[in-house]
Chains A and B, each alone.
Chain A
């Protein structure tokens, strides 16, 4: 696979201009997405696409619309306008397209009185998939001895590991990870990051949010920067750093936030 440095350079786009869908294959295409919550614009004409076998980081300050964007792709939030295509399926009332998505919410919450094993088998039953499961993380986290215990006895970190296992379990074509390393110790977050990179090597597309810039620098090929529901930057990560003239991503993002506010 190509390293981030040798990726085809997508021309940088001026802020707020919708990015044209390039000829490179996209797993998710979002066109003119709009959503408001009680008069507050969470998404305001967002158009972008997430490339196949690429890691795209959705970044921005709190309440910039990151979660809303992710949740509209998952069908959890219904957009007021716009269109979303995931893997060739238009996202509407139909729900079967989610078969190809692995989702890791910010925190793992499961029925308290079920064991970890039962939670996993519930999801297997719901998916009804006979394909071979990806239980690599189960071993990497040494989670198997914990699976017999009821969820309420598990620590927050262990629940979060279970949460990660579920996202990768069904070998989805698209991974949506909402702050995947939040609440994990350095060893566990290293394991997840390695796993994410390996998944990309095998052709999985990844969309993630994070507030940890070093993590995005380590993982992301592309960056979508949201501010007040609008896209301020959408392109390769290195392009963002070159464009703003800053070496570190953290400063580049900070420059964008200040530029966007004026």
Chain B
């Protein structure tokens, strides 16, 4: 992996100079700033931002991630003809995408908090969780994007698969859970629901964030179970591990395919 740093250095420069990464930062910057001007407290802003973050971050990460890898295909071939090993190259490219995306998100959301709430003003820990969740979701969906781009030779199919993965995680999964819960309402579903939530990175992020607020109490008995589980050190650790695994596992599977791939 000795060339990863060298590749990363130039890929970062390329991505950061791109116009869309600036737009991505500005969107978060404007949104957070406007929410502060209308709303008020930092905690409220975090709550309002939550749903946007949970939908937008995965969508942008997976779309830009696949687009980037397809776009770089010919250059990847040129780089692979150099004395470079494939693992270095793949990890360098991943870093070159995930780091600017995560940084752009963190700056866009973080800066308005600095100049409005001055870092204090409540919602400090909630903001921390929001930033952490956003960054981890960025890493996870960029990894999924790379996996999709490596699996599908055809660009159109790849984009389709990327959008499908996002739809499944962001929309369909919750719908299925809702159907299961409403049709099996007679049964105690807290534990199965807990497991199901753990399996989807977006749901995991949502629960993680909601539990930062008092509104967790509104979720009734399920909320209490969740609150107790995710409030415990074991629960937090497990949730964090699963969220990180959503980056590591797709990345490793993608890397395996990338190493065997014919260019």
Contact = CB atoms under 8 A, between A and B. Distances in A.
DSSP class of A's interface residues: helix, strand, loop or mixed? mixed
Contact of A112 (B3, B9, B14, B77): B14
A126 B6 contact: yes
A109 B75 CA distance: 5
Nearest to B86: A95
A99 interface: yes
A133 interface: no
Interface residues of A, number: 31
Contacts, number: 79
Interface stretch (A73-81, A203-211, A225-233): A73-81
A95 B14 contact: no
A35 to B, nearest CB: 8
B58 to A, nearest CB: 25
Contacts of A78: 260, 262
Given A78-B260, A95-B84, A126-B83, A114 B78 contact: no
Interface in A138-152: 150
Contacts of B262: 37, 71, 76-78
Contact of A126 (B13, B17, B79, B260): B79
B11 A101 contact: no
A166 B13 contact: no
27 contacts: A75-B80, A76-B262, A95-B85, A95-B86, A97-B83, A99-B83, A105-B78, A105-B81, A107-B74, A109-B73, A109-B78, A111-B10, A111-B11, A111-B14, A111-B72, A113-B13, A113-B14, A113-B15, A113-B17, A114-B13, A118-B13, A122-B7, A122-B9, A125-B6, A125-B9, A126-B6, A126-B83
Interface of B: 3, 6-7, 9-11, 13-15, 17-18, 72-75, 77-86, 260, 262-263
Q: Which 3 A-B pairs have the closest CB atoms?
A: A109-B74, A113-B17, A111-B14
Interface of A: 37, 71, 74-78, 95-99, 101, 103, 105, 107, 109-114, 118, 122-123, 125-127, 150, 166, 176
